[in-house]
Amino acid sequence: MSRDDEHDQFERIRLVEQVERDRMLVAQYEEHQALHRTRVENNRYELGRLDERLGD
């Protein structure tokens, strides 16, 4: 294995690890985003109910 091939192998390993980390971060972000969107919608619904009872 030449020095250039060895360098390319390590660079490939580094990039694969970076892609895996980034995919995990994006998946976690999307999961939390969905959680917060659901929370916003639930809270807006509750606010609407309270406004109706309060006559607003």
Question: Domain map of the chain by residue range?
Answer: 1-56
Dist CA 31 CA 3 (whole Å): 42
Report pLDDT for 1. 76
CA dist., res. 6 & res. 24, Å (int): 27
| pLDDT tens by residue, 17-46 | 999 999 999 999 999 999 999 999 999 999
Q: Maximum CA pair distance of the chain?
A: 79
Nearby residues of 1 by Cβ (< 8 Å), 6 or more positions away: 9
Task: Supply the pTM of this predicted model.
Answer: 0.66
Q: Is pLDDT of 6 > 90?
A: yes
